[in-house]
Amino acid sequence: MEFLYGNLLEIQWQQIVMWLIGGVLIYLAIKKKMEPTLLLPIGFGAIMVNLPFSGAVSQLVDGVLESGPLSTLYDAGISNELFPLILFIGIGAMIDFGPVLSNPKLMIFGAAAQFGIFFTLCMASMFFDIKDAAAISIIGAADGPTSIVVAMKLGSKYLGAIMVAEYSYMALVPIIQPPVIKLLTTKKERLIRMPYKQASVSKTTRILFPIIITIIAGIIAPSSVALIGFLMFGNLIRECGVLDSLSDTAQNVLANLITLFLGITVASQMQAENFLKKETLMILGLGLIAFIFDTAGGVLFAKFLNIFLKEKINPMIGAAGISAFPMSGRIVNKMGLEEDKQNFLLMHSIGVNVSGQIASVIAGGLILNFFMK
């Protein structure tokens, strides 16, 4: 009983706050179904690592370092970027690049929607070291694996806060994007119809696409080769036609299992003494700014193009250029149907959405090229 009483006395108010934060993440995952495969393990892990003398993380006991399983997983899968890269194989296997291959000009909107990354980099650099600012700006990629890899390679000490911000805002995309889109567009613009002319894409084209994209991205941003390469390798497994069982495994079992390990391992960086800082609130705020300006960048770029185009583009599809796949594409389609029940934008918005997946990885590679010195 004395031992139990001693443990109770070791509980600090900061740890209780982290329990509450963990509880909120678990609530959002279960009750609101917001990114449950990530927020649930992150929330539960946050509680685990904030118990007194938690055996889940490595710590000194009588002068001897005892390894905790979450710390071991972190060293084995996060510090060397292994988990995020393996997850990219699964994500690549999920993506159908057909819509963008049938209409390649949609890829430009994926690039435009990365504006929030570079805008946030400028803002974050006023408050943080330039490498930490660069890692924080990648929250705007709306791409968890890319954020982890960039933060790790740049040696950011704010990985836990960056990951919580990244995945929380990805889950909140249905709440964040619509007000921004409506603010920047008129009803007339939202009513613009974009007929979809389905063009057949040959199997050869589908197979060559991931190979060519990897080569081009590697030349533009060499630091992105691992990121884009694993993503495109996953897509090649999907499209080659001879590895169907592996493709199914990558999309479901592999992606879900790695996501669970990723979430609970990231939580090892959410110990109260490292997480409960004013910098965490600043990172959450900057992450929200990144998402807002990503959305705005895509919408405003579409509006700019409409000045010169005879066949107008519905500016809402520009918002789908963030990498939150497929949520952002579905949101744009839903907003189009709310304005006009016959205005189907899904294939256009999904095409922009998958373009954003590629663009966000390249943007991450460019950030690494600039700041990983």
Residue 325: alpha-carbon gap to chain centroid? 9
Q: Quick check: is 206 in a domain?
A: yes
Of 221, 172, 169, give the one whose Cα is nearest residue 359.
221
Q: Quick check: is 87 in a domain?
A: yes
Q: Quick check: is 10 in a domain?
A: yes
Q: Quick check: is 62 in a domain?
A: no
Residues with Cβ < 8 Å from 107, sequence gap 6 or more? 100, 355, 358, 359
- What is residue 85's predicted lDDT score, i.e. its pLDDT? 92
246-250, 297-301, 310-314: least confidently modelled range: 310-314
59-73, 74-88, 268-282, 288-302: least confidently modelled range: 59-73
- What is residue 7's predicted lDDT score, i.e. its pLDDT? 65
Distance CA 247, CA 237 (A): 6
Q: Name the domain count of the chain.
A: 1
Q: Quick check: is 61 in a domain?
A: no
59 SS3 class:
strand
Which of the pair, 133 or 104, is modelled with greater confidence? 133
- What average pLDDT does this structure show over 240-263? 92
8-17, 121-130, 151-160: least confidently modelled range: 8-17
Which of the pair, 130 or 221, is modelled with greater confidence? 130
Q: Quick check: is 158 in a domain?
A: yes
Q: Residue type at 33?
A: K
Q: Quick check: is 48 in a domain?
A: yes
Q: If you search the block for the tokens 């995945």, which residue do you land on?
A: 167
- What average pLDDT does this structure show over 198-213? 90
- What is residue 188's predicted lDDT score, i.e. its pLDDT? 92
pLDDT digits (tens, 9 = 90+) for 264-301: 988 888 888 888 889 988 999 999 999 999 999 999 99
List the domain range (segments joined by +) for residue 281. 2-56+67-371
- What is residue 172's predicted lDDT score, i.e. its pLDDT? 80
Q: If you search the block for the tokens 């709440």, which residue do you land on?
A: 175
- The DSSP annotation for 267-280 comes to GGG--HHHHSSHHH
Distance CA 98, CA 114 (A): 22
* pLDDT interval class at 116 (50, 70, 90): very high
- What is residue 139's predicted lDDT score, i.e. its pLDDT? 92
Q: Quick check: is 280 in a domain?
A: yes
Q: If you search the block for the tokens 């943007």, which residue do you land on?
A: 363
